[in-house]
Chain A
Amino acid sequence: MAYAINFNVMNPGRERSPVAPLADVAIGLTGVTKRYQRGKGLLTAVSEVTLSVPPGQVIGLLGPNGAGKTTTIKMICGLVLPTAGTITLNGYDVARQRAGAVRQIGAVLEGSRNVYWPLSAWQNLMYFGRLKGLRAVAIRPRAERLLTELGLWERRHESVGSFSRGMQQKVAIAAALITDPPVLLLDEPTIGLDVAAARTVKDWIARLAADEGKTVLLTTHQLGVAQELASRIAVIRDGKIIADLPTGELLSRYAEDRFEIRTRKIPNGLRPGVLPAGGRIEHGAEATRILLPGAGQADLYRVLDGLRAAGSQLISVSQARPGLEDIFLRLIRDGEEGPGAVRATAAERVA
């Protein structure tokens, strides 16, 4: 909740919904847990997730395979029933006010076509618009705009099955947007797209958020996509949120300058005491990487001297800043920072 307050402080002009009692929160999850039946036992796919996304924010939900991203998105859609916890969409309780809640969202779900391939793009948009309760007169101009913007207008009457993968994904996103819902849920929206198609989709998502104020929750395994689009990143592992920070903060928290030394094998090994605190050695097939986070010049020279003494052959010395990928891998691998450490505290956020 503190996050939402912070957001509104930064965007005081943001319009509030006249209908929804909790419109400060576009997507709200409180203590959401999902246990699936797995054989005779239960599998906890999502565990006590609490998340509050203010209107207009783009949040990236990252995590390894099986972390619970898709389950979370489907629970938000009302397509999977949580075992415990509550979910609201612009104040509508997904479990108890389903009709109101699903009107708030458009979703593109993972690994599926999402739209009818035998039908044309136009038929799909008309169908999904009607399905969500719009009349044809209201759908037509919107469908025309969406298809034109996506460069599909000329081919609107061809079956979606005959389109390229990128075009099909564009139709799926257009179908999700046909009712102009305030909240978009995108489960791996750029999966399987070539560079150009992914670019179009990314630009479009960015524009929807920036110009139309849509709230977007997206999952992706392409960390660059998250870094580019999301202003906030939540990392989920084994069903639990282990990090939840504004993207910039997540990056800067780990962005302490550090040195990276690459050498060939170290025949005699490094003498003890050469490696400064926090330094670590990673042996690769072609080279050995020595990482010195937060190390000063003196530390660096000490290690280099140590390497010479050990008879090692130097390949390169560089100053590295960890990207989102490094941070992500660190979080996923050791999760050494508990949720408390990685989540901004309420005081920090409001400050």
Chain B
Amino acid sequence: MTAITAPRPGAQGVLGPALRAVGTEAGKGLALMWRRRAITITGIALNGLLYLMIQFFIGGGHLVLPVLALTLPALIAYIVAATAALQGSGGIAEEVNAGTLEQVHLSPARPSLLAAGRLAALAAEGLIPAIVLALAFGLGYRPHWAISPDALVPLALTIADALGYGLLMTALTLRLASIGAVVHVFNMAVMFLGGLFVPITLFPHGIEIFARFVPTALGVEVLNTTLAGRGLAAAWADGTLPWLLAHVAVLAALGWLAYLHTLRRARREGGLSAR
């Protein structure tokens, strides 16, 4: 009988195993997504239809292209955020019930690497339907967007904001029994206040201020600024970009730390599985 030795650090490097741990978790997430692809496809179709109906409704039976140009970024942000929150929370709840979360944490890899892998899979799961719908509506209706490299900054920040939100909901799943309802309410908030119906700049002032705290809302606002042909400088000058940076930093850090903290706590008290 020999003990299995721990790998000597330096012998095979640190980065290789770390990347493999992240890749393994991400790969599993994608494999599980593939198994439920029917749901993903239905979700894409339903979200697309819902969005179209809302746009027709707002346009009084017509599709108003300028409104579509301003709200389509919000649809994309909403889908990433809502998917990350739903699948993140539902996925971890399922793993708790199935006992696989415990098995995952019998890995020698650090929990933060496993979390990174899980997040990567969530990002993919949210981005795939978002990209499909963006292409469908973008190519179908050709909104007047001034696409420039500047837009990549708020796009990346909005995705980070959405994932931070998703991770926070995932973390809360380990603590709140009623997380399903919580995610539902927050996802509705992102849908109504994130600029999916009308751009938040058209909201009454008080609601606009409040809406900016909702995940992805500020990101969509800055994205709209750049897509309207005004550069990042304009977004910086009107204060939305600095606020967006702060929002992303806080939400992403909160999501990440909350996730690692609840995991650590659950590991202490046997909360990684349902009893």
A residues contacting B by CB (< 8 A) are 14-15, 17-20, 23, 26, 36-37, 55-56, 71, 74, 77-81, 89-92, 97-100, 102-105, 107, 109, 111-119, 123, 127-128, 130-133, 159, 175, 179, 181-182, 213-215
Contacts and interface: CB of A to CB of B under 8 A. Distances in A.
B259 to A, nearest CB: 17
B6 A103 contact: yes
A340 B99 CA distance: 37
Contacts of A102: 106-108
Q: Which of B3, B27, B272 has the most CB of A within 10 A?
A: B3
A105 B3 CA distance: 10
Contacts of A115: 100, 103
Given A116-B98, A130-B24, A71 B2 contact: no
B1 A103 contact: no
B1 A118 contact: no
Contacts of A78: 105-106, 267
A37 B250 CA distance: 31
A131 B104 contact: yes
A26 B6 contact: no
A26 B1 contact: yes
Contacts of B274: 112
A116 to B, nearest CB: 6
5 contacts: A90-B4, A102-B106, A123-B31, A131-B25, A133-B109
Contacts of B36: 118
Interface in B110-125: none
Interface string B141-162: 0000000000000000000000
B3 A182 contact: yes
A98 B273 contact: no
Q: Which of B28, B268, B274 has the most CB of A within 10 A?
A: B28
B270 A17 contact: no
Nearest to B266: A79
Contact of B107 (A15, A80, A92, A132): A132
Nearest to A106: B106
Nearest to B274: A112
Interface in B2-22: 2-7, 17, 20-21
